[in-house]
Chains A and B, each alone.
Chain A
Amino acid sequence: GNSVTQMEGPVTLSEEAFLTINCTYTATGYPSLFWYVQYPGEGLQLLLKATKADDKGSNKGFEATYRKETTSFHLEKGSVQVSDSAVYFCALIRGGSEKLVFGKGMKLTVNP
């Protein structure tokens, strides 16, 4: 079946540290891949996405590259800020479906 495995955390970093959140997937066909972010007390927002192999999604200084050979979509940011404190979810949609399959989420806290 389709599944997403991601780092679960929680993770605490200092401001300006480098961030990597690992995400790997199992899926039939060619899924689209997503990172969603949930700030404290809020709903989910799409952070970035990639729809085919070698695509790079980017937004707000975050990047992730769709790696078909390693079935991965790791999220990176070179210098985190306190405002990046949130829960991050990796997710996929299998081709031909609209159903999102989520990882378990990772809580990030960034301290000044």
Chain B
Amino acid sequence: NAGVTQTPKFQVLKTGQSMTLQCAQDMNHEYMSWYRQDPGMGLRLIHYSVGAGITDQGEVPNGYNVSRSTTEDFPLRLLSAAPSQTSVYFCASSYIRTGGGNTIYFGEGSWLTVV
């Protein structure tokens, strides 16, 4: 019962460094997404994907890249970390069904600090 797995759980980066947050799901979900959570802001969508080879931008995409080479994996890359990217990051996945109401499953979060 792995569900959505994110790594690492905690990371400290220096300004300008790059890193990749990993996300994997074992439920054969078509839809995967990345959110960031900031105090008083709720969760905001960074990027999403509706299937392998297809990605698109969400509400706050600047400074982040994604790719979706397989159904299972959806890594989030920070190319040059900035203190403004200090946040908690959540990966999520779901089936795509007409009519809405799909349950979206979240990973446990990755706490990132950029100093």
Whether the Cβ atoms of A99 and B42 lie closer than 8 Å is no
Within 8 Å by CB of B100, from A8, A32, A44, A89, lies A32
A104 to B41, CA, bound (A): 5
Within 8 Å by CB of A51, from B41, B90, B101, lies B101
Contacts of A4 in B (CB 8 A): 42
Task: Scan A32-43; emit 1 where CB is below 8 A from any B CB, else 0.
Answer: 100010000011
Whether the Cβ atoms of A46 and B100 lie closer than 8 Å is no
Decide yes or no: A43 and B42 within 8 Å by CB, A93-B100, A99-B33 being known contacts. no
A61 CB within 8 Å of chain B: no
**Which of B103, B104, B108 has the most chain A CB atoms inside 10 A of its CB?**
B104
Whether the Cβ atoms of B104 and A98 lie closer than 8 Å is yes
> Which B55-95 residues have C-beta < 8 A from chain A?
58, 90, 92, 94
A10 to B48, CA, bound (A): 31
Whether the Cβ atoms of A46 and B102 lie closer than 8 Å is no
A49 CB within 8 Å of chain B: yes
In this complex, how many residues of chain B approach chain A with their Cβ under 8 Å: the count is 28
Whether the Cβ atoms of B48 and A99 lie closer than 8 Å is yes
Q: Which residue of A lies closest to B41 (CB)?
A: A104
A100 CB within 8 Å of chain B: yes
Whether the Cβ atoms of A42 and B108 lie closer than 8 Å is yes
A112 CB within 8 Å of chain B: no
Whether the Cβ atoms of A96 and B100 lie closer than 8 Å is yes
Decide yes or no: A98 and B48 within 8 Å by CB, A45-B106, A89-B43, A105-B42 being known contacts. yes
Whether the Cβ atoms of B40 and A97 lie closer than 8 Å is no
B27 CB within 8 Å of chain A: no
A67 CB within 8 Å of chain B: no
A74 CB within 8 Å of chain B: no
Given contacts A44-B106, A105-B42, 12 further A-B contacts (CB under 8 A): A42-B109, A43-B107, A46-B104, A46-B105, A49-B101, A95-B99, A95-B100, A98-B31, A98-B102, A99-B33, A100-B43, A104-B41
